[in-house]
C-alpha cells in the first residue's frame, strides 16, 4: 500500500473528525432524551412518594375507620337475607306512617372487594309530609342505607305524591349484627 500524501492525510483526518462529531452529536441527543425521561420518572416517583407519605401519616385514622366499619356495618349470612331485611325494614317504616307501597323490585346484589350492596326499587304513595318523614328516616348513616335514585311527582289529589326511589343497603357477608 502506498503512503498517503499530505492532502489525503488532511482529508482522512477531516473525515474521521466529521464521523467523530456526528457520533458525538447522536450520543449527545440520546443522552439528552434519556436524561429528560429519567427526570420525568424522578418527578413521578417523587409525587408517588409524597402521596405514600400522606397515606402513611393517615394510617392510624384509616385503621380506626376500618375498625369502626368492622364493628358497626351490618352483617348478613347471605345476599337474600340482606335483601329480605331491607325490604321488611322499608315496608314496616312505610306502613307505620300510613304510606302505600305500590311497586317493589329487588335489584341484583352488587359485590365489590370490600362491600356488598342490596337494593330495592319502590313506588310509594302518600301525603307529602309523611313521604318526606319516611325519606328522612331512610337516610340514616348508622343504618348503612341510602336513597340512591329518587323521583317525586304529584298524585291525583293535592297532598298526595308518588315517589319512585331506589334504596340501597351496604353490608358484609358474615354473622353478627
Whether residue 173 has pLDDT greater than 90: no
Grid cell at residue 169? 343497603
pLDDT tens figures, 97-141: 999 998 999 999 988 877 799 999 999 999 999 999 999 988 877
Domain with residue 143: its CATH number is 3.30.70.60
Same domain, 53 and 85: no
Same domain, 52 and 80: no
| Orientation of helix 6-57 relative to helix 59-72, angle to 10° | 50
Same domain, 26 and 102: no
Kindly indicate the confidence band of residue 156, based on its pLDDT and cuts at 50, 70 and 90: confident
Same domain, 82 and 45: no
Same domain, 31 and 97: no
Domain total for the chain? 2
Structural domain of 14:
1-57
Same domain, 128 and 82: yes
C-alpha separations of 121 from 1, 42, 49, 145, 147 in Å: 97, 50, 44, 13, 10
- Burial of residue 165, with CB atoms counted within 10 A of its CB: 0-12 exposed, 13-18 middle, 19 or more buried: buried
Same domain, 98 and 161: yes
Same domain, 151 and 85: yes
Same domain, 51 and 115: no
Q: What is the mean pLDDT of residues 19-43?
A: 95
Same domain, 86 and 164: yes
Amino acid at each position: 500500500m502506498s503512503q498517503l500524501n499530505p492532502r489525503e492525510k488532511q482529508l482522512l483526518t477531516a473525515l474521521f473528525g466529521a464521523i467523530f462529531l456526528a457520533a458525538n452529536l447522536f450520543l449527545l441527543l440520546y443522552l439528552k432524551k434519556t436524561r429528560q425521561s429519567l427526570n420525568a420518572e424522578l418527578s413521578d416517583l417523587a409525587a408517588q412518594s409524597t402521596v405514600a407519605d400522606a397515606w402513611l401519616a393517615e394510617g392510624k385514622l384509616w385503621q380506626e375507620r376500618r375498625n369502626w366499619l368492622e364493628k358497626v356495618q351490618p352483617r348478613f349470612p347471605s345476599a337474600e337475607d340482606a335483601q329480605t331485611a331491607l325490604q321488611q325494614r322499608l315496608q314496616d317504616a312505610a306502613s307505620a306512617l300510613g304510606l302505600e307501597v305500590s311497586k317493589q323490585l329487588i335489584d341484583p346484589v352488587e359485590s365489590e372487594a370490600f362491600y356488598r350492596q342490596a337494593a330495592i326499587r319502590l313506588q310509594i304513595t302518600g301525603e307529602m309530609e309523611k313521604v318526606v318523614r319516611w325519606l328522612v328516616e331512610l337516610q340514616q348513616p348508622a343504618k348503612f342505607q341510602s336513597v340512591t335514585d329518587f323521583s317525586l311527582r304529584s298524585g291525583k289529589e293535592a297532598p298526595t305524591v308518588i315517589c319512585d326511589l331506589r334504596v340501597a343497603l351496604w353490608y358484609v357477608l358474615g354473622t353478627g349484627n
